[in-house]
Amino acid sequence: MRPRFWLIANVAIATMVVSALAPGGVFAPTPAGAASEDQLAALDEVNRARVAAGVRPAQLNDALSRAAAAHAAYVAAFPLFSGHEESGGAGSTGRTPADRARAAGYPTSDVGEVQAYCAPCALPVGASRARDDVRRYLLSIYHRIGLLAPDVTEIGYGAVTTARGVSANVIDTGYDWKAPANIWARWPAPNSIGAPTSWDGVESPNPAPGVPRPLGPAVTIAISNADSVSIQPYVANVVPVGGSLTGPEGPVAVITEVNERFASLLPKAPLRSATAYTVRFDLEIKGVPKVDTWTFTTERTISPPRNLAVYYGDSGRVFGWDAPRDGPPGVYAIERNGQVFATIPGDQTYYIDPEPQAAATFRITAFADAASVRSTGGPPLSSDVFAGPIPKRPVYWSKWLSQSPYPTLRPGEMADLFFAFRNTGTEPWVRGVWGQEANLGLNGDNKEPYRLRMDVNWLWDDRVATTVEPVVAPLQVGTFRFKLRAPPAPGVYRFSIRPVIDGTVWMPDEGVFLTITVVAAQP
């Protein structure tokens, strides 16, 4: 079952409208010893973002945490698409966030709230529930503003998971309306590296009705209550300034939303990987124009490999694929029936199946490094490949690595040349043992070079050389060195080259060839 995840921002927070201001300053934080591990993790994640965004950190408040936990239990039992409970209903502690906070002992009505629930719920590898909850909020617009607003001084966190697998979490926020002026929360954080390239746009209210998903990452600026601010962002003021692949591409099409306390720019399509972007907002502060601008850089995303295929033949069962369009990853992982069984270097695009007699469904994924590899499992994908069984047998396979530059010669001149291939099969290449010796053959047993007397101590008419190394074990490199004599007639001669285990099997034809240019002899 695919996880369902909803973010529901209370409308008061979506527009940053709160109830009447009450006197009082910053409320007493929860003592560290009284807070749960999840509450401290949520606070730490929120404060990391707040400090990076340019605003003061918040503190944990016990009353807000009690209110948040009670509402999370209600949401998990009765999933909501708004922040309001049914007053007097089973499990209800108050209709609005302010009602619930007062019931928990919070002294004012100035309370904001963000909430989310999912069913069933899945965590990224190595993530904690509280930290993942906050990170999901930071991907959004309205929930993010609720947590990064400069006037927020304290938070409370609560989360519940039911026996049915429904998980809900709530963060309540308290305010200090005496925050200094000209304190703005910018996100993605200025000069940050690793901003997401996309967002699924799952949030209520819907930030982009009718716009196809995925979207780009939301860019926001939140303004302190002490500022009387009018924000006038350009319609296309998220502008690429450079990238590792193509460089600047001009303005990004965005959805612009302006509110008295914040503005957002939501790209209509994902941004480029590992690319720097510049944000610009035009603001008017007490009638004085001001431009606020900063840059951030997106994360390096890992595209999936393409065109996984299985090949059958004398060499057994071999998987091949194309590298991602944006370049090789750190490693590939191959899954058999949903479980990773092989990790392959990112510069390799083939794999010899060690158990070709087993019928299974195979999937290939890409990761930044070996430590990140995990099984994806889940339902079948259109890119999965089913491979039926074949008898297990020795596999002889090769992969071209390098060769000499194409020579230019005069008639009768000789050149020393080489080709290097990696042994990508399961068996060693053993020089001098028929049926195991790897030779460099002229594809299709082409004897034309022999007839032109180009051979110099070749093995025979259509076999150029064997390996320099006595034994080339699997994954080691075999080197084929040989001499060649230029034919008497000037011209360009091109011959297809292919390794072969004579008496057993030709190895893959990768389109490798040798070109010799013969120029006329000087008079």
pLDDT of residue 230: 56
Domain containing 344: what range? 307-386
Local confidence pLDDT in tens for the 523 residues of the chain = 233 345 555 433 322 222 222 223 333 344 444 799 999 999 999 999 999 999 999 999 999 999 999 999 999 888 765 567 776 667 889 999 999 999 999 998 899 999 988 876 655 545 578 998 999 999 999 999 999 999 999 999 999 988 877 889 999 999 987 767 678 899 999 999 989 988 999 998 899 999 999 999 999 998 887 664 555 543 333 332 222 222 247 888 888 888 777 888 899 888 888 889 988 887 777 667 778 889 999 887 888 898 898 877 555 688 889 888 878 888 999 998 888 989 999 888 888 887 777 888 999 999 888 877 888 776 788 889 998 887 766 788 899 999 999 999 999 999 999 999 999 888 899 999 999 999 999 998 999 999 999 999 999 999 999 999 999 998 899 999 999 999 999 999 999 999 999 998 999 899 999 999 999 987 6
| Tokens (6 digits) for 310 | 């299985």
> Quick check: is 24 in a domain?
no
Using alpha carbons, list the distances in angstroms from residue 338 to 322, 351, 365, 377, 378. 21, 17, 11, 4, 7
Domain boundary among the residues 337, 364, 386 is at 386
Query: Residue with structure tokens 């996309």?
Result: 198
Q: What is the pLDDT of residue 13?
A: 31
Q: pLDDT value at position 185? A: 93
pLDDT at position 39, please?
96
Q: Could you tell me if 342 and 381 lie in one domain?
A: yes
Q: Are strands 513-518 and 491-501 parallel, antiparallel or unpaired?
A: antiparallel
Closest CA relative to residue 40, chosen from 69, 68, 9, 61: 61
Q: How far is 516 from 420, CA to CA, in rounded Å?
A: 18
In a domain, 12, yes or no: no
**Same-domain check for residues 169 and 191:** no
User: What pLDDT was estimated at residue 2?
Assistant: 31
Which domain-ending residue is among 273, 298, 323?
298
Helix (H) or strand (E) segment spanning residue 494: strand 491-501
| Residue 287 and residue 328 in one domain | no
How much is the pLDDT for 241? 28
Say what the pLDDT of residue 314 is. Answer: 55
The answer to whether residue 7 is domain-embedded is no
The tokens for 440 are: 């460099």
pLDDT of res. 96: 92
Q: Is 173 in the same domain as 41?
A: yes
374 and 475 co-located in one domain: no
Single out the residue in 298, 322, 345 at which a domain terminates. Answer: 298
